[in-house]
A and B are shown apart, each in its own frame.
Chain A
């Protein structure tokens, strides 16, 4: 029979107590953190929706594999297990382990990039953009038109606009294009999936221009779920085979294993081309570690090898996507402006619609993030003009395309009653929405300012 309950295909083996706090305590913590939840201490947080990256609960199988790990510096058997698991997924001959995804990005994009070069993507993520701009290249986002229509329930809002991409390539010249990056699912665009058809079209276009096509696969299992659900031809394909097929389309595959490999640390760069692999290997050794560990302990490589298999389990993926949808639907019912359809790993809220009285240059997203923490100890992240905003030459803010707040749900960590608590907190947020105030940045670093910026609440 069909149950309505979202059945979690696991039981709890180990728990971590959550320290509770009062509203006045949180008010004080928030002030100490300069109104930037990134600067809160984790024991000041009740429900941590800051990120789904590196925050998964590992399985007993992963812990057992960690205990059996081989910490030899060179040629460890844990490396063999890691390499086999990654090769099985990507079918790529050259596998470079890295301590996390951004290291793989820095190595590949640092090598391919440089002044006058262009990168195109469905949407560049914050660290991706930073790595590309750090190399001197330009990062251009080309999401499909539907991505910006929040009421549309188009199933593949993560797609890249292939027509625009083709036009851009012709305009700047294929030789100036460093790479095309397809991020599955499209995190900054609301965790929206990319269709296989779109990946195929992108791959064809890149091949015809001899451009490197990179698949950022950090949430490829969740993306496969949506492909199977919404692309008729893939109805009878397994999630794993869908992911494998998508990888075959790419020349390079980057993964932050901290997402869909269900681990707390790890990543990789997989490549088809030997010359490119050799160049990247040199950079790997300099900044990450030797080729058979890349800055990871043996046990972390073991955990990735096991996690990469577990994540494609059909029952797991069903639970994962359904529980994200559960939160999204509940919030929608309360009248919270939620991005639709609900993505795989997070619920995104349009903060500027919730707080229309706060102008964009006073960061409505930051306001919502702070309200959520004050009201319920919930930590979320602004994905709007704090994260992606820039200044023009007069120092005036060039806003981001969307003013989102992301509630990223760690994998296998929170239960349905935690989620119900979050919904309750939102009831309060909605009823007091008019009281929220804007923010001003008082201190910001040059790169990735959202991590360490300080804010002041405006009166």
Chain B
């Protein structure tokens, strides 16, 4: 349970610093050159050119001394490593799924699951797309269909659960295609692309009812389940006195299986898993994991990384940990709100999402406003953020045209336990500086475009 006084305004961390990593300060001229070399894509910057790295919260957490101690207990036996059994126990205890298969990271688990469950022509409904998840569904022959509520696509709508599913949309899909064409519904807890927005337990329960009736599985993309659970505790009726741990178990119990990138909520630098309750899927997956990842008792992970994950899972479900985590993000969000910077509301769990269309109203979406904004923020202060708009959305495979997402965002993602309040102040100051001078920011032209997941490596030039 949350031991910190609930009236406390500060989000103070339930930990102190044990080891530090020095960061680099850069000059404007150095940043200018670095940005040109990186083709105005923050993904292509080198980390030593970055002062505060808010590119992603994935794999960038500071591990605890216990996790490091666990790393020293790595059992690197090829088969039957002790660390695997610790991981399996942690997943069963805190998430409640029966069978666990480790994977080197989340996309490894997604790949295996998609290959097992999806047949060509299948429909995969989900509460908003995520880049790698959708790609694996498509590569397996499936088609992703968005069934998130409309409010999710409206940045300024303050609906408390913008990750909710619109059950009518799902019913319509089932009616049109038949439940046989829908192997599962993919539900993300804390919807990343919507701005880290949670799904409510009420909605999930209704979804369970509906899917049960039609014999459709729910697969849980659970990478930020702890943050979602914390929002339920804060916002949903009847859950105030429940612990994050209890809420997580309830969420998981309403689903049939999960893919997890442990690089987010489970506080590790590498790792993931696939968890299912059906033995048949488990058996197929343990066969397939050998081809792609590694034997089913290590799945492409060193023993020590499975140990760090087992301990990280335990730490991640602690109320005080999640409170401070979400509290820090909220702190940054509130600062930006007082500065009148347009951000996605309500403030999400893992980052602040800047509304690029509002921020740069003079740019058309085809001029990549979010990409241009991320570049401008880096140039100003060395803060690295990520585009989550038209570049990330990619192209429609059939028409060849861009997808035009309603949300054109820049994500300032806060790594877990890494940065301090003073760092957050710097970020807010820099964003405000760019905001004041926003009229000077020009659009971009894409000069190199890879076929898949183009946002990683695309290059740009200012117009």
Contacts and interface: CB of A to CB of B under 8 A. Distances in A.
Interface of A: 14, 16, 37-45, 48, 50-51, 53-56, 67, 70-77, 80, 99-100, 102-103, 106, 127, 130-131, 134, 264-265, 278, 281-282, 285-291, 293, 295-300, 445-448, 451-452
A282 to B, nearest CB: 5
B56 interface: yes
B79 A73 contact: no
- DSSP class of B's interface residues: helix, strand, loop or mixed? loop
B136 interface: yes
A74 to B, nearest CB: 5
A287 B78 CA distance: 22
Interface residues of B, number: 62
B196 to A, nearest CB: 17
Given A72-B50, A73-B55, A75-B45, A295 B270 contact: yes
Contacts of B434: none
Nearest to A37: B79
Contacts of A451: 79, 290, 295-296
- DSSP class of A's interface residues: helix, strand, loop or mixed? loop
B293 interface: yes
B108 interface: yes
B107 A72 contact: no
A48 B81 CA distance: 11
A145 to B, nearest CB: 32
B43 A290 contact: yes
A452 B269 contact: no
13 contacts: A50-B79, A53-B78, A71-B269, A73-B53, A73-B58, A75-B48, A75-B50, A100-B300, A264-B304, A285-B457, A289-B107, A296-B270, A452-B286
Interface stretch (B144-152, B352-360, B370-378, B446-454): B446-454
Contacts of A293: 59
Given A72-B55, A75-B46, A286 B107 contact: yes
B302 A77 contact: no
| Max chain A Cβ within 10 angstroms of own Cβ: one of B42, B44, B85, B293 | B293
A44 to B, nearest CB: 7
Interface stretch (B69-77, B164-172, B334-342, B387-395): B69-77
B292 A106 contact: yes
Interface string B52-93: 010110111000000000001011111111100100000000
B160 interface: no
Nearest to A56: B76
Nearest to B76: A264
B49 interface: yes
| Max chain A Cβ within 10 angstroms of own Cβ: one of B44, B269, B288 | B269
Nearest to B61: A71
Interface in B266-312: 269-270, 283, 286-288, 290-296, 300-305
A73 B111 CA distance: 20
Interface in B404-453: 450-453
Given A99-B300, A286-B136, A42 B290 contact: no
B79 A40 contact: yes
B259 to A, nearest CB: 14
Contacts, number: 176
B135 interface: yes
B105 A295 contact: yes
A72 B108 contact: no
A288 B288 CA distance: 15
| Max chain B Cβ within 10 angstroms of own Cβ: one of A48, A67, A289 | A289
A297 B269 contact: yes
B79 A297 contact: no
A74 B107 CA distance: 17
B104 interface: yes
6 cross-chain pairs, A with B, having the tightest CB-CB distances, nearest first: A42-B77, A72-B47, A75-B46, A297-B270, A41-B80, A265-B302
A103 B78 CA distance: 16
Contact of B291 (A53, A99, A131, A265): A131
B204 to A, nearest CB: 29
Contacts of B46: 75-77, 80
A67 B135 CA distance: 34
B430 to A, nearest CB: 19
B139 A286 contact: yes
B53 A45 contact: no
Given A71-B59, A282-B452, A286-B139, A295 B82 contact: no
B452 A285 contact: yes
Contacts of B76: 54-56, 264
Contacts of B453: 285-286
Nearest to A408: B78
